[in-house]
Structure 1
Amino acid sequence: MENKTESYGSSLVSHMRRLLFRVLSVGPIPNHIAFILDGNRRYAKKRNLGEGMGHRVGFLTLTSLMKYCYELGVKYVTVYAFSIDNFKRRPEEVQDLMDLMLEKIEGLLKEESIVNQFGVRVYFIGNLRLLNAPVREAAEKVMKATANNNKSILLICVAYTSTDEITHAAQEAIEEKWGEIPESSEASMAQNGEISQEKHEGHRTIKLADIERHIYMGVAPDPDILVRTSGETRLSNFLLWQSSTCLLYSPKALWPEIGLRHLVWAVLNFQRVHPYLEKRRKQV
């Protein structure tokens, strides 16, 4: 009897959530929501939990938020899982986080995972060479296994900072521009009239499109909403290139405490300012 009651209660909650999302769908739905997962350690301290338990609870929160986003029709979800700066933490803490990351990455391939339920393609975004071999190999395996999924996209930023992303893109653009034609050959071609003087002078110029072509996050459109929990308003070196025209939302809840009501409030605020954001994007 108890199991039937729990099943009925769960079914009722799911039905009410679908009705809520149907009402929200009357207005514009964000195509891309990004999350900075802030407050896991403070949550553990607040609840007197063991070290690392805040991140485990935070992963359950992430799974729920992803489910809500995909049910609502948000195609792209990006999470800031691990910054390059996080490598500066105590070695024991970094190793624990790497172990947890490996466990959860491998869990994405399970049949009952949210990735398989919603047909999610997974990208790991960042300087993956900084990860230890088991985590990097697991990430590559998940990306390969989900490459044919196209219903929804999950971007997990690990070993990531915006400054590293922009530096990487600039380096790639320079190598592309300066490596296309050897300098001696280009000068000879210019002298022989095989390329125009204008092309000769502009051939090595790095343009905005060159940077954007090599940016880590080039696989997704810019976010419509960027959520940072814990009431913090800092971007912490996350999506600095992509967030100039998105809505910033900073609920006071710690990451493991965030829930459906926060997502609904963020979407309502996005719908309220959507005309202004669209106008700004056309001006950029």
Structure 2
Amino acid sequence: MLNRFSKWIQGQESESFPLDLDKIPSHIAIIMDGNGRWARKRGLPRVAGHRAGMRTVREITRAASDLGVKYLTLYAFSTENWKRPKDEVEFLMRLPQEYLLTELEELIEQNVQVRMLGKQEQLPNDTLDAVYQAQERTKENTGLILNFALNYGSRDELLHAIQQIASEAQSGNLNPEDITAQALNRFLYTAGMPDPDLLIRTSGELRLSNFMLWQLAYAEMFFCEVLWPDFSKEEFYKAISEYQHRNRRYGAL
């Protein structure tokens, strides 16, 4: 059914994607892809695409918060991204500082809580300091939880969790028969969070790229051709609208 917010969306956007607020995904994960191609199409350096992508982060975070999404996880920098050119990596490491410097007060006003998923090793101190400050200043907020997957790799996350479980078992604190899916969840970066209901990937690529391999087991997936800097609020509504029209059976008939 249409509710007041979906009618407002229909009135505000050039194309309508009516949403049912009772069926908003609790956790949305996004692989933000296409910044480099966006810049190349315009004859700009790749870093220009990353900066444009940061503006999209701002817009989609606001939209998710307004819709009542509880968790938004953004794949910001993977463990494989260190292989990119040094100047690009250095720029990407400055982006969290730049984003949080300009957006933190609004995030606080919107009751958004900032978290980071990933390995802290290798990350520059300035980047970590900006993230720590944002986490500290928003830790009491009770609205949208905004996860930045930074220096994140799912295989690395799973290996770390398995090592922790092995250590617990070796020390006698965990019996082998107690090693369940729930036990593994406790050692993941996403401990205490629900698995994503919806994965969005932009730019036309059809792969997970080492992102939340365990957590995405039953997520609905939405792939679109739009490059991340061009991914608008309307495209976000479109992805959620499609999600709401799917029948999630979790392996059942």
Return the TM-score normalized by structure 1: 0.79
Preserved CA contact (<8 Å) 1:38 1:228 = yes
**Counterpart in the other structure of 2:175:** 203
Distance in structure 1 (CA, Å) of the matches to 2:11 and 2:65: 16
Q: Percent identity?
A: 35
Structure 2 counterparts to residues 228-243 of structure 1, below 5 A: 228-243=201-216
**How has the CA–CA distance of structure 1 residues 117 and 259 changed in structure 2, closer, same or farther, with 3 Å as cutoff?**
same
Gaps of 5+ in 1: 1-12, 182-201
1:100 counterpart = 2:99:
no
Secondary structure of 1:57's counterpart equals: helix
Preserved CA contact (<8 Å) 1:21 1:72 = no
Distance in structure 1 (CA, Å) of the matches to 2:16 and 2:193: 23
Structure 2 counterparts to residues 9-158 of structure 1, below 5 A: 16-17=11-12, 23-25=18-20, 28-109=23-104, 111=105, 113=106, 115-158=107-150
Amino acid in structure 2 at the alignment position of 1:203: N
User: How many angstroms does 1:79 deviate by?
Assistant: 0.2
Distance in structure 2 (CA, Å) of the matches to 1:220 and 1:120: 15
User: How many angstroms does 1:223 deviate by?
Assistant: 0.9
**How has the CA–CA distance of structure 1 residues 54 and 220 changed in structure 2, closer, same or farther, with 3 Å as cutoff?**
same
CA RMSD of aligned residues (A): 2.4
User: How many angstroms does 1:15 deviate by?
Assistant: 9.2
User: How many angstroms does 1:99 deviate by?
Assistant: 1.9
Distance in structure 1 (CA, Å) of the matches to 2:134 and 2:121: 16
**Counterpart in the other structure of 2:4:** none
Amino acid in structure 2 at the alignment position of 1:240: L
**How has the CA–CA distance of structure 1 residues 262 and 225 changed in structure 2, closer, same or farther, with 3 Å as cutoff?**
same
Residues 189-229 of structure 1: CA deviation (Å, up to 9, x unaligned): xxxxxxxxxxxxx8245332221111111232111110000
User: How many angstroms does 1:261 deviate by?
Assistant: 2.4
Distance in structure 1 (CA, Å) of the matches to 2:182 and 2:23: 28
User: How many angstroms does 1:100 deviate by?
Assistant: 2.3
User: How many angstroms does 1:134 deviate by?
Assistant: 1.4
**Counterpart in the other structure of 1:191:** none
Secondary structure of 1:78's counterpart equals: strand
